[in-house]
Structure 1
Amino acid sequence: MAIPLLQIDAFTQQPYRGNPAAVCLLTEPLPDTQLQAIAAEMNLSETAFLLTDQTAWQLRWFTPACEVDLCGHATLAAAQALQEWGRAQRGQTLRFHTRSGLLQAKLSDRGIELDFPLQPPQGLETSLDLAAGIGAPVVASRTSELGYWLLELASVEQVRTLQPDQAAIAQWPCQAVVVTAAAQAGDDCDFVSRFFAPRFGIPEDPVTGSAHCLLAPYWQAKLGRDRLQARQLSARGGELEVEVVGDRVFLRGYAVTVLRGELQ
């Protein structure tokens, strides 16, 4: 069976930036072991698998090491892929059945808008030395239902130059670590971040949509605005707009297709 495959850079308008994801279009379900093997073969932070089910698309996300509950950039890539394959058109809203419930993606002239569940920041209680693991003093800390730990630092430069102890944070009782800071005066964004998930086999993710389901309400409360511009300061870099509306977060960004092929 040949499986159509696209590799797409998400949350960017430039090739070879943003966060790459592979998207596979299935005509029938495959065993989880085979899906995991394909994701390991792709060796990207996420591989998305699409399967139509009449009223919506079934969507699953796999890292090279495991399946995950929520992934923003691979959902954005999946919407872009369906448009590339002629299965969707501009102006259409796509529906995805996922492990995080029903998600939607709207194709527009301003890129792709994802409708995701908000992750309210919760208090984080731990005796761990967070500053030692991250490599910088921590101003504030939060957690979320996804198991992401959000650590605020004092400056953009601290976030940019951070070199965390990957072995140490891989032992922390969390799914991933999101490091963030408010932007500086004159920047064309409102806050910056980086994302580390060594437990998923991802030392650093280039641009992480799911993290912004936590970052958006956190910075909404601190900055007093519902709509914010975000930048992730990985080596590849990426940008997106976030907007908090009730218990949902809208993530808006662009995607660029860089590879077309098929799996045998």
Structure 2
Amino acid sequence: MTRAPWMAVIGLVACAAPAERSLTADPGAETTPVRPTHPSGIWPVTPPGADSPDTPDPPGSATNCDPLHLVATDIDETLTTDNDEWDLQIDDPSYDPAMRPDANTLLQGYAARGYTIAYVTARWDFEMSDGRLASEHTVDWLHDHGFPLHGGLVFLAPEPDHDGDEVVEYKSGVLLGLQAEGWALDWAYGNAETDIEAFLLAGFPDDSTFLVGDRAGELEVPGIPNEDAYTAHLAHLASVPDVRCE
């Protein structure tokens, strides 16, 4: 079975998955539970009107390539403007976290060149005050802001209380698991030292691992300061190889 257009992943690569579950962008839509296809629990997240999980991917799509090329990104303060944006949405689930300018355009540019985006966040999954899961709100936010999700992967942390070392272990474990499945680790974006440590530990090249925000220029990797995230950084796409395949 090919990977679904959208996927939400909860937990470590080494964690056992529950038996069945399905998420949709529309909480009122009818869905058929689908068994996970990965030890960590990959659930197809199919919005209304989208292709079913059994629909073959078109020629040239990222999921038909060998190897599969991956761009990994954190979410909070990497795609959003600040970590507090998620806290505000936890307090009020109807709140729309602010996005860094052109964050979606940047990742759309990668997707257009044949890369699949993996969203690896330290958020954890829980039922929010509106009765919906944090994972559903996370996927909805990405969708509503135009982030590429076809063949995409969204990973949430396995537990709420984790220190820096545990975040590194979780994020690097997810990415090492994808690498073992045949994904090439090409580009990565994060705002925290734990992001960069996890990316480098997983095997992303240090010259294609970007530190975004206040600490840009540190940790011996390319930096993207707040004022350049991401409109000025879009020029980088001109140097990104096209990895689309037949």
TM-score of the two chains, using structure 1 as the length reference:
0.26
TM-score of the two chains, using structure 2 as the length reference:
0.27
Quick check: which one's strand share is greater? 1
Quick check: which one's helix share is greater? 2
Bigger Rg over Cα: 1
